[in-house]
Structure 1
Amino acid sequence: MDQNRVSFITIPKTWKDYELIDCGGGEKLERFGDRILIRPEPAAGWPKTLPEAEWIKQHDIRFISRSTTKGEWVKKSKNISDEWFIGYQNKDVHLKFRLALTAFKHVGIFPEQAANWDYIASSLRSFKKAQPKVLNLFAYTGGASLIARACGAETTHVDSIKQVITWANENQQLSGLKDIRWLVEDALKFVKREIKRGNTYNGIILDPPAYGHGPKGEKWKLENQIEEMIHDVVKLLDKEEHFLILNTYTSGFFSKNIETLLREAMPQIKNLETGELYLPAATGKKLPISAFGRFKKAL
């Protein structure tokens, strides 16, 4: 049996618009472009390296939790806007993202995913097909979709929230791209329809939440439906050239769970990598963020 490579993968050091400055005490101090934020981070269960006074001095905005799911942002100055822009660049693409303060502590981008963005780009470069097809499920504000489209792929972006897709479309325009296919859909229902249609993709990206709802109230619970989703999704992979990325932030769902799911759904799998995505802090700590599994096949 092909043995998987367990990896601990981080973001490119060349990304100038993002930096994790410090983490600890259940929080992270991070810079997005010209803004420095303090946000809750349950994985940072160790003491802060920098003193609290330094955190207070450096930050512009801090998220204060008011419940398990929501909170509010507290700004140092009223002149700080709720929206701003950052860029991302590698040897294949140059993208631009609009960031914004949301009630859920998110800002519109998950920086650790840059490790998977580079994997998408390198996979597409290795394919012989002139215009590969990529499907991005639970696609949020579209970082992976933008990377795929910028690399020349025919890209389909699926998310259940219309406002999020509008945000992703803004990022497409900011990045000078066009023609991504936007779908406000329930991801599992869409996959089943694509199987019936006989459609296939060279790349599939999944970043499912622990809980969620489709546009018509369809319920998603990862522990109940992820097995069905993966068994269906692998049926959509092109037989000759493909890659698949599964990422999850769900507590208690580890890379070993992902490995088992992928091997059960696709016993002939090759080049499987599983592990954790982490962010390196300038103070030396390594902050684990999510578990992932990914594999590819090229001619």
Structure 2
Amino acid sequence: MKETILSLSPQHWEDYELIDTGGFEKLERFGKYVLSRPEPQAIWDKSLPDSEWRKMADAHFAKEKNNPEKGQWEEYTKIPQQWQVNYKNPDGLSMRLNLAMTAFKHIGLFPEQAVNWDYISDTLRKFPVKNPKILNLFAYTGASSVAARAFGADVTHLDSVKQVVTWSKFNMEASGLDGIRWIVDDAMKFIKREVRRGNKYHGIILDPPAYGRGPDGEKWILEEQINEMLKSCAELLHPDHHFLILNMYSLSFSSMIAANLIEGNFEKVENAEHGELYLIDRFKKKLPLGIFYRFRNV
């Protein structure tokens, strides 16, 4: 089987910029606002002095001592409770996405995922099936769901957190779309039910966290459960025209692990690509932000 190994960074952002990285932090512009946030992989020195970061930033996220994933935002400029950014690409994809500062340092957007939105739009633009069925698992605030819906897909969007599903609805509506099917459920339970029902999807998008909880407290541990999940996804994927995108953010994972998982569970893997996603700052430093594996038969 032929596969391509890539390192991918978004090419079409106007409302997002990675300004500087280093000292375990990143300085980013989202539309009109500049935020500084923790970044565990930025182990090198900053290119700009701390005084310049402080001058440029509208807000800074300070971690709790006992919980590095949680903390508080310190605002230097008054930032609205919600604001929006736009994303467009040459395929005709146009999305408006809602952002907000949360207690977990996230703001509702992973800008490096734009390379996969481009992949979705490019795939569906030439897809031979009208209204293909797409399943987006661990779908978070739903930019991939919106991208697929923008090209006429029949999208099922699943996340275990009701609040982020509501956030996804806002993104759909802000982008001038409707018709996405929303599900709040445990991803593993849902796909096993779908297998029993005999359902098939032309596209599956998976963006599982390293750790997580379902709506009823179901435990998700990436290393222990991703292989089983992909076995079920192989049964759900349409045998002819299809695509699959897998993202993983575990710091210990390489894309070769993703390749072994996919190639061990799917019989028909064509046009495969895998590697790293990254963002590049103004000083040409590359910040790795997860791995991906994707394939398609259009």
TM-score, normalized by length of structure 1? 0.97
Q: Deviations over 1:240-281 (max 9, x none)?
A: 110000001112021111010001101442211110000011
Question: How far apart, CA to CA, are the structure 1 residues paired with 2:83 and 2:73?
Answer: 15
Question: How far apart, CA to CA, are the structure 1 residues paired with 2:9 and 2:3?
Answer: 18
Establish whether residue 84 from structure 1 lines up as the match of residue 83 from structure 2: yes
Structure 2 segments unaligned to the other structure (5+ residues): none
Question: How far apart, CA to CA, are the structure 2 residues paired with 1:221 and 1:213?
Answer: 9
Aligned residue identity for 1:81: P
Question: How far apart, CA to CA, are the structure 2 residues paired with 1:230 and 1:202?
Answer: 15
Question: How far apart, CA to CA, are the structure 2 residues paired with 1:82 and 1:178?
Answer: 24
Question: How far apart, CA to CA, are the structure 2 residues paired with 1:170 and 1:267?
Answer: 38
Establish whether residue 277 from structure 1 lines up as the match of residue 287 from structure 2: no
The aligned runs of 1:164-179 (5 Å cut-off) are 164-179=164-179
TM-aligned CA deviation for residue 92 of structure 1: 2.1
* Alignment partner, residue 199 of structure 1: 199
Q: Deviations over 1:69-101 (max 9, x none)?
A: 201100113x32232111111132211111000
The aligned runs of 1:204-243 (5 Å cut-off) are 204-243=204-243
TM-aligned CA deviation for residue 4 of structure 1: 1.7
Establish whether residue 44 from structure 1 lines up as the match of residue 42 from structure 2: yes
Over the matched positions of the two proteins, sequence identity in percent amounts to: 51
- Contact 1:92/1:151 (8 A) holds in 2: no
Q: Deviations over 1:37-65 (max 9, x none)?
A: 00000111111111222111111000001
Question: How far apart, CA to CA, are the structure 1 residues paired with 2:166 and 2:46?
Answer: 37
Question: How far apart, CA to CA, are the structure 1 residues paired with 2:206 and 2:50?
Answer: 37
Which secondary structure state, in structure 1, belongs to the residue aligned with residue 84 of structure 2?
strand
* Alignment partner, residue 162 of structure 1: 162
TM-score, normalized by length of structure 2? 0.97
Aligned pairs, number: 295
Which secondary structure state, in structure 1, belongs to the residue aligned with residue 288 of structure 2?
strand
RMSD of the alignment, in Å?
Answer: 1.0
Establish whether residue 29 from structure 1 lines up as the match of residue 24 from structure 2: no
* Alignment partner, residue 124 of structure 2: 124
- Contact 1:159/1:184 (8 A) holds in 2: yes
Q: Single out whichever of 177-186 and 263-272 deviates more from structure 2.
A: 263-272
Question: How far apart, CA to CA, are the structure 2 residues paired with 1:93 and 1:4?
Answer: 27
Which secondary structure state, in structure 1, belongs to the residue aligned with residue 96 of structure 2?
strand
TM-aligned CA deviation for residue 126 of structure 1: 2.3
Structure 1 segments unaligned to the other structure (5+ residues): none
Question: How far apart, CA to CA, are the structure 2 residues paired with 1:220 and 1:139?
Answer: 15
Aligned residue identity for 1:63: F
* Alignment partner, residue 63 of structure 1: 61
Which secondary structure state, in structure 2, belongs to the residue aligned with residue 69 of structure 1?
coil
Q: Single out whichever of 152-161 and 263-272 deviates more from structure 2.
A: 263-272
Aligned residue identity for 2:61: F
Question: How far apart, CA to CA, are the structure 2 residues paired with 1:197 and 1:268?
Answer: 22
